[in-house]
Structure 1
Amino acid sequence: MELIVHWLADLLAAVGVVLNGIPQGIMAMTLGFAVFPTAFSFGLAALVNGVAGSVAPISFQAESLALTGHLGKDLRERTSIIFFGAAIMLAIGLTGSLTRIVDILGNQIMAGMMAGVGLMLAKIALQMTKEQRNFGWLSIALATVTYILSKDLVWTIAISVIGTSLYAVFGEKYHATLPEHVTARKFQFVKPLVNVKILRGALSLACLNIGANISYGLITGQMTGQKPNPVNLNLLTSTQALADFGTSLLGGAPVETIISATASAPEPVIAGVLMMVIMAIILLMGWLPKVGQYVPSASIAGFLFILGTVVIFPENAATAMHGSMGTIAGITLVITALVDPFTGLLSGAILKFGLPLLGLGI
């Protein structure tokens, strides 16, 4: 009986994270990403986690999707950014350089970059709202009220996306026709494009993932209650990079590290693997595109706004400003928000190491 209860708890945790990922999967479709090949990213990660016993799963991540959509103007640019970003992260994961990068730059500068990403997400949410005013503002209102009442991101994304979609369908007879390459259950090779814009975008995505893998990965590990932290950051980084590396060549969406409720399940490894297998089945069967026709892209605006302004920005901004590197971390934050994560992180690194060489300080 106890075993059945454990398995039921694992299943419920897995289903909860799947429900959290579906709206972000829909967001991926609105950006032009094909969902069928993305299923194999989930399959690969499920296999690696099952064999290695890793508790940290990967899924659709609003931050990386929003950033990629912001940096690339079409599918080829966006998949190229993901491809080269994954190549960078794979090199970092295989060489075990992830924690070294953070040690060199320092927690304050990394936190400044992450806080800047929070402001970027809020800005992207408002841009979505300008394009679909009724849907965007309704989504933000629902997300704000839900988060104030529940303090729970799962409820926030569920209520804001479902509520906005119901209004869109029944109030304004909304029905979108998704591009054929998004819904097709077949493979289509997308040749990577190389130029300065793509490489800068790839570096920006890599910078975001460095911060997310460490913060989200360690938080997921802490949720298990196991000590020392059971998350292998290098394995997590390599798995995520390999998943993105392959799917990007087929027009698929990026899947990244998330804070996963499966880590608090009785069997966190099994729950995480189960979540990724369920998501892979949903994508392979073509169920997500059928739902996506009735979900306006701006329905995710409320979740992005809350995620950026309430969840990511305050904590990271506080970490960035508290300490001797506060001014440099603040500059990193502002430049990240105005330009991109790579430029912000690069600016912070130049100021940290360049000013002492000149005999200056901030």
Structure 2
Amino acid sequence: MHWLADLLAAIGVVLNGIPQGIMAMSLGFAIFPTMFSFLFASAVNGAFGAVAPLSFQAESLALTGSLGRDLRERTSIILGGSIVMLLIGVTGTLTKIVDVLGNGIMAGMMAGVGLMLAKIALGMAKKERLTGWVSVGLAAATYLISKDLVWTIVISVVGSSLAAVFIEHYRVELPEHVTARRFVFTKPTVNVRVVRGALSLACLNVGANISYGLITGQMTGIKPNPVNLNLLTITQSVADMGTSLLGGAPVEAIISATGSAPEPVVAGIMMMLIMAAILALGWLPKLGKYVPSASIAGFLFILGTVVIFPVNATTALQGPTGTIAAITLVITAVADPFAGLLTGAVLKFILPLLGLGV
């Protein structure tokens, strides 16, 4: 009966990913081309026996949406970030970056991302008051009771969407390019905003691939940790590179409950194939008509303030680089992850050469 436990774990992660897929649609990303990211990642995981799957990730979507003004800029940010991550993965420098900067500075960047998510969530709630505040309230109550992110996202998204539909009679027609089951080439563009966004997305993915990937690996109980970070990075970057040129959404490393399944590789592949089928059949856009973008606000708020920020802030403020990590945290929160890590690197390496310090 292992297959049933694997399937249930896969369905749980799919339920977690659907609202974030809806969030991707609200940002203008085309859904049909994103199917191939899931198919590609499932094929790679099957070929190499990799346990860490890819899916929609709220952090990368929120960051890309906030830094890019339109679909062209957002897909260009994803393309640029994936090129940077591919170089990092192929050269095997992912763990070296952490070794050089230190866990404290990296944790400071991730804690800053947590605050960014909370800020974005509150901004959504202020913009769409009924949906946003109902989502935040339901998410807070559900997480306090269950301590479970899957229940938190399901109840907050469903509850706030029902409130919007029945109280405000919410229904939206999504743009044709979002729902079309065809491929449309999206010409990349380059400007300061895109370059900054691409570097920020790459910095976020460096931290996410290491932390989320290894956490999923820890769930398996296999020692040493079975996750190959370089393979995960290459898979994620190639998947994003292809779909971004077709206007598709990014898929990134996640903390996946499939890691705790009896057969974590099989469960992860099941999850990605189910998600690919949902996108191929056009079910997600049908749901998206009745789910406001602010329905994800509660999950983003809990993810940022309760799940990501506390543990990373604790790690960041401990040790000899605590002050630098704290500054990295603040700069990331008020600017972006690239500015945060760059500030941390300058404070750690450049200022001591000049006879200065923090």
Q: What range describes the TM-score normalised by the shorter chain of this pair? A: over 0.9
* Alignment correspondent of 2:66: 70
* Alignment correspondent of 2:45: 49
Report the 3-state secondary structure (helix = DSSP H, G, I; strand = E; otherwise coil) of the residue aligned with 1:155: helix
Equivalent residues, number:
358
Which ranges in structure 1 are unaligned for 5 or more consecutive residues?
A: none
1:159 aligned to 2:155? yes
Q: 4+ residue runs of structure 1 moved beyond 6 angstroms?
A: none
- Percent identity reads 76
Amino acid at match of 2:333: A
Alpha-carbon displacement from aligned partner over 1:156-190 (angstroms, at most 9, x marks no partner): 00000000111111222110110000000000000
* Alignment correspondent of 1:238: 234
1:29 aligned to 2:25? yes
1:67-146 mapped onto 2 (5 Å cutoff): 67-146=63-142
Report the 3-state secondary structure (helix = DSSP H, G, I; strand = E; otherwise coil) of the residue aligned with 1:103: helix
Alpha-carbon displacement from aligned partner over 1:177-221 (angstroms, at most 9, x marks no partner): 100000000000001001121111000000000000000000000
2:5 aligned residue (5, 9, 26):
9
1:332 aligned to 2:328? yes
Alpha-carbon displacement from aligned partner over 1:62-110 (angstroms, at most 9, x marks no partner): 0000000000010000000000000000000011010000000000000
Q: Provide the aligned C-alpha RMSD in A.
A: 0.5
* Alignment correspondent of 2:199: 203
Alpha-carbon displacement from aligned partner over 1:309-342 (angstroms, at most 9, x marks no partner): 0110011001000011011001100000000000
* Alignment correspondent of 1:171: 167
1:226 aligned to 2:222? yes
Q: Is the 8 A contact 2:2 2:262 kept in 1?
A: yes
* Alignment correspondent of 2:187: 191
Q: What's the offset of the Cα at 1:360?
A: 2.3
TM-score scaled by structure 1?
0.98
Amino acid at match of 2:341: L
1:321 aligned to 2:323? no
1:307 aligned residue (303, 309, 316):
303
Report the 3-state secondary structure (helix = DSSP H, G, I; strand = E; otherwise coil) of the residue aligned with 1:36: coil
Take 2:349 and 2:252, find their aligned partners in 1: how far apart are those partners?
30
2:340 aligned residue (326, 340, 344):
344
Alpha-carbon displacement from aligned partner over 1:256-281 (angstroms, at most 9, x marks no partner): 00000001111000000010000001
Amino acid at match of 1:244: D
Report the 3-state secondary structure (helix = DSSP H, G, I; strand = E; otherwise coil) of the residue aligned with 1:192: coil
Amino acid at match of 1:232: N
Amino acid at match of 1:136: G
Report the 3-state secondary structure (helix = DSSP H, G, I; strand = E; otherwise coil) of the residue aligned with 2:222: coil
Report the 3-state secondary structure (helix = DSSP H, G, I; strand = E; otherwise coil) of the residue aligned with 2:221: coil
Amino acid at match of 1:248: S
Amino acid at match of 1:349: A
2:292 aligned residue (276, 290, 296):
296
Report the 3-state secondary structure (helix = DSSP H, G, I; strand = E; otherwise coil) of the residue aligned with 2:332: helix
Alpha-carbon displacement from aligned partner over 1:116-153 (angstroms, at most 9, x marks no partner): 00000000001111110111011000000000001111
Q: Is the 8 A contact 2:213 2:255 kept in 1?
A: yes
Report the 3-state secondary structure (helix = DSSP H, G, I; strand = E; otherwise coil) of the residue aligned with 1:178: coil
Take 1:76 and 1:305, find their aligned partners in 2: how far apart are those partners?
27
Q: Is the 8 A contact 2:130 2:163 kept in 1?
A: no
Q: What's the offset of the Cα at 1:361?
A: 2.3
Q: Is the 8 A contact 2:30 2:180 kept in 1?
A: yes
Take 2:134 and 2:335, find their aligned partners in 1: how far apart are those partners?
28
Amino acid at match of 2:286: K
TM-score scaled by structure 2?
0.99
Report the 3-state secondary structure (helix = DSSP H, G, I; strand = E; otherwise coil) of the residue aligned with 1:167: helix
Report the 3-state secondary structure (helix = DSSP H, G, I; strand = E; otherwise coil) of the residue aligned with 1:254: coil
